[in-house]
Amino acid sequence: MNINAPLPVTVHPYRPDYAAYETGSVRRKNAIIFIGGLGDGPHSVQYLRTVARHLEEAENLSYSLFEFRIRSSFSGFGTGSIADDVADISTFVKYLRSISKDKVVLFGHSTGCQDCAEYTNYAKHGSSPVGGFILHAPISDREAFKLEFPDTDKSVQVAERMIAEGKADHIAPKEIIPPSLGPAVSAYRLRSLLAKGGDEDYFSSDLDNAMIKKIWSRFDKPVLVLHSEKDENVPGNVDQRKLNKLYQEAGAQVSSLSDLIPNTGHTVRRDSAREWLGERVVKFLETLAEKRREET
């Protein structure tokens, strides 16, 4: 597939200054909402073209794929939060309901997985319920950034001091920000990403069993968990296969189709891995359809 070829989409303006982009037939009755990671935005994750093709070919499932811009998209994440993300996602879910989309599934990649996990805290956010979740590359930002910037403990200390001084929304000093994050990151967001127990600390390998159970038992709808087998952002001492199995055991709704995408890195650049991903997503959606038939 030529990733540089034009991509036809249907644009949905759904509130002032906001729009979403639908790939696939507008006649499809169900929707997948894709939520990217740090620095991502609409059309920045290339493997979605493969996923969209598999969805288009699975006509019986009737899904189209949506990307949309939230406040944290692209460089906006530096001063955003996952609470903001949840609010933006929930607003878009409500829009999809208003245009008669039936089942809505959230598909998170990287930090988008944290957004999905936070979204399940319905009591806190009042987020609009969805019919399922797909999590790809649910890695620990705390552990990943320590690989490139070992002194994250100092970064957390400075960020916490700024927060205590009422400067949570102020930009942190450049020298304490991991280079890949860019220069404009608030004290709040830096702590959220780097601190143990920070707001985004959902998938670290050192979380205790009670916390893991709490996180995964909060998913009240089926969830597919897919790690990238050779994810370059995961420390060498972290066993992703063990984590994947642990998540399946911790949450009753975690699909048995959850697995590691073979022989691929964080953004799934290999064609064979993208095909594997597209096929597994379709299989998972088929289980949602079967579950609905059983319930009716």
Q: Cα separation of 189 and 194, whole Å? A: 9
What pLDDT score was predicted for residue 291? 82
Residue showing tokens 């998972």: 284
CATH of domain 10-140+204-295: 3.40.50.1820
pLDDT for 39: 96
**pLDDT of amino acid 34:** 98
Q: Could you give the CA distance from residue 114 to residue 112 in angstroms, rounded to a whole number?
A: 5
Rounded CA-CA distance 21/87 in Å is 19
CB atoms within 10 A of CB 241: 11
Long-range CB contact pairs, 116-119, < 8 A, 24+: 116/35, 116/223, 117/202, 117/215, 117/218, 117/219, 118/82, 118/83, 118/85, 118/86, 118/199, 118/202, 119/86, 119/89, 119/90
pLDDT for res 2:
62
pLDDT, one tens digit per residue, over 63-84 is 999 999 999 999 999 999 999 9
Please tell me the pTM assigned to this model: 0.97
pLDDT of residue 295: 79
Which pLDDT belongs to residue 1?
54
Closest CA to 224 of 129, 50, 108, 88: 108
* CATH 3.40.50.1820 domain span(s) along the chain: 10-140+204-295
Low-confidence residues of the chain, pLDDT below 50? none
Q: What's residue 5's pLDDT?
A: 78
* Residue-level pLDDT at 3: 62
